[in-house]
């Protein structure tokens, strides 16, 4: 076997290990979210519960705002991100006994459901829409 084949196979082998490890990491995270907790329901079950209980509170305008806030998420993962964020928004709405969704609930739910690195996009988007960030400063820190 020529030496050059081995020098091609080594990087390919390392790439495949990295590729499978990355995929396995995300699959394992999804698996953990599906595992039942002490109450017998998983994080995904609770997410679906909150979405179903608050589905009637959403308007087209508010769904468009959620769609706009999740624009930086790659298309492949956008629906999952929207469901996760909508679940957190629904949880807030039920906890506060809201009779309808409002901008404040959506923004607070987005902040609570997303990692800090995504808050930069939120701040830029809200500034473009001329929405005051003052009520959310504490959550953004």
Burial class of residue 87 in the structure, from the number of CB atoms within 10 Å of its CB (0-12 exposed, 13-18 middle, 19+ buried)? buried
Residue 59 shares a structural domain with residue 107:
yes
Instruction: Determine the structural domain holding residue 11 and report its residue range.
Output: 1-35
C-alpha span between 21 and 27 (Å, rounded)? 10
Residue 105 shares a structural domain with residue 59:
yes
Contact criterion met (CB below 8 Å) for 125 and 69: yes
Residue 15 shares a structural domain with residue 56:
no
Residue 106 shares a structural domain with residue 132:
yes
Q: How many residues does the chain have?
A: 141
The pLDDT assigned to 12 comes to 93
Residue 81 shares a structural domain with residue 98:
yes
Provide the domain count of the chain.
2
Residue 104 shares a structural domain with residue 63:
yes
Residue 31 shares a structural domain with residue 45:
no
Residue 66 shares a structural domain with residue 48:
yes
Residue 31 shares a structural domain with residue 44:
no
C-alpha span between 74 and 61 (Å, rounded)? 22
Residue 28 shares a structural domain with residue 84:
no
pLDDT tens track, the chain, 141 positions: 778 888 889 999 999 999 999 988 888 887 888 888 888 888 889 999 999 999 999 999 999 999 998 988 889 889 999 999 999 999 999 999 988 898 899 999 999 998 888 888 888 888 888 888 888 888 887
Contact criterion met (CB below 8 Å) for 44 and 59: no
Tell me the angle at which helices 60-69 and 119-128 cross, rounded to the nearest 10 degrees.
130
Residue 30 shares a structural domain with residue 56:
no
Cβ-based neighbour number of residue 140 at 10 Å:
13
Residue 81 shares a structural domain with residue 126:
yes
What does pTM read for this prediction?
Answer: 0.78
């Amino acid at each position: 076997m020529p030496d050059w084949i081995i020098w091609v196979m080594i990087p390919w082998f390392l790439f495949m290990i990295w590729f499978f490890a990355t995929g396995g990491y995300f699959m394992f995270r999804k698996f953990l979210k599906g595992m039942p907790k002490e109450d017998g329901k998983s994080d995904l079950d609770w997410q679906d519960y909150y979405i179903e209980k608050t589905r009637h509170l959403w308007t087209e305008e508010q769904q468009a705002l959620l769609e706009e806030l999740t624009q930086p998420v790659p298309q492949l993962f956008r629906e999952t991100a929207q469901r996760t964020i909508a679940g957190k928004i629904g949880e807030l709405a039920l906890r506060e006994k809201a009779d309808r969704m409002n901008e404040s609930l959506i923004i607070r739910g987005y902040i609570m459901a997303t990692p800090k690195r995504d808050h930069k996009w939120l701040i830029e988007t809200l500034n473009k829409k001329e929405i005051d960030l003052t009520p959310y400063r504490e959550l953004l820190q």
